[in-house]
Homo-oligomer: A and B are copies of this chain.
Amino acid sequence: MPHTLPDSFDQCDPLQSALYTTLFTRRDVRSQFLPDAIPDDVLARLLTAAHYAPSVGFMQPWSFILVRDTATRQSLHQAFSEAHLEAAAMFPDEQRDKYQRLKLAGILDAPLSLCITCDRERAGKVVLGRTHMPEMDLYSTVCAVQNLWLAARAEGLGVGWVSIFQRERLHQILGIPDNIQVIALLCIGYVSHFEATPELQTKGWRKRLPLESLVMENQWDQPLSGTEFRQMIVQTQQSAEVIAHNTNKAVNESLLTTPKS
């Protein structure tokens, strides 16, 4: 990936550039999966990336179920399809058609489904840092998901987080006990290309918000006062868009010309 970054990132060292490039080019992939298997050494790095997430009280409450088996992936796809139908019915008329035209899961296309769970009792009943915010262990597990997602992007793998399921169906299909909470089902695989812009934006579902409108100072009702800092945030977001667009465009050209071995 290119390391010449625009404007707000041009003073970054190579490590920073690499991280920001990965953050901005990561995509939620639904449609572009290739069937190529993921090598074991790559998978071991992805899982290690997840395992080095922060966790409340160092609980490390996560577990990983690797689903490569076709029959199991077919069952997962079936569970998704059932929930997807239910979901469509919930949208107002003017959104339903558009919702139904979106491809929202690549379970059958990607060679790997990965279920990431949270064991809420892994470190006993009283957990350091979870005494007042009981959901902290769930959040720790989400950090593991995000670490893995970024590692996957850096390895050239696409990830899609599929959340349209009846929870009990996942438990049933994967044999997950009741005291374990499913956090994420991810589809993972190599891709034909990475979208320059999130698909939900390209397809007119929803746009990227202006970051400066989401930042406040000292109190909820105090928007950013400093014009200079506000403008700096605007420019930094513009630069991030440029990085995302240029990098994924360059990566896609190389994916087209260099078939994966």
* Contact in complex: A131, B164 (CB < 8 Å): yes
Known contacts A163-B136, A165-B132, A205-B128: does B41 contact A8 (CB below 8 Å)? yes
Give the number of residues in A that approach B within 8 Å (Cβ atoms): 117
If A52-B240, A165-B133, A206-B123 touch, whether A44 touches B232 (CB-CB below 8 Å) is yes
Total copies of this chain within the assembly = 2
Interface flag for A23 (CB, 8 Å) = yes
Q: In the complex the two chains form, is B66's CB within 8 Å of A216's CB?
A: yes
Given A21-B15, A51-B214, A86-B132, A65-B165 contact (CB < 8 Å): no
* Contact yes or no, A20 B1, CB < 8 A: no
A148 CB to nearest chain B CB (Å): 10
Contact between chains at A83 and B128 (CB < 8 Å): no
Contact status A22-B24, CB under 8 Å: no
* A261 interfacial contact with B, CB 8 Å: no
Which stretch, A175-183, A188-196, A252-260, touches the partner chain B? A175-183
Q: How far is the CB of A63 from chain B (nearest CB, A)?
A: 5
Question: Which of B51, B99, B130, B151 meets A19, CB within 8 Å?
Answer: B151
Question: Chain A 10-39, CB within 8 Å of chain B: the 1/0 string?
Answer: 011011111111111010100000000000
Contact B131 A87 (CB under 8 A): yes
Flag A243-258 by CB within 8 Å of B: 1 or 0 each: 0100000000000000
Contact partner, A150, options B19, B198, B228, B239, Cβ 8 Å:
B19
Whole-angstrom distance between the Cβ of A89 and the nearest chain B Cβ? 9
Chain B residue with the shortest CB-CB distance to A99: B128
Residue in B15, B58, B228 whose CB lies within 8 Å of A198: B58
* A residues 153-190 in Cβ contact with B at 8 Å: 154-155, 161, 163-167, 174-177, 180, 183-184
Contact indicator A44/B233 (Cβ below 8 Å): yes
Complex CA distance for A32 and B146, rounded to whole angstroms: 26
A16 to B72, CA, bound (A): 31
Chain A 192-248 interface residues, beta-carbon cutoff 8 Å to B: 198, 200-201, 205-209, 211, 214-221, 226, 228-229, 232-233, 235-237, 239-240, 244
B240–A48 touching, CB < 8 Å:
yes
Supplied contacts A48-B211, A86-B132, 12 more A-B pairs, CB within 8 Å: A45-B236, A48-B233, A48-B236, A72-B218, A123-B206, A132-B166, A136-B163, A142-B143, A143-B143, A143-B145, A146-B146, A150-B150
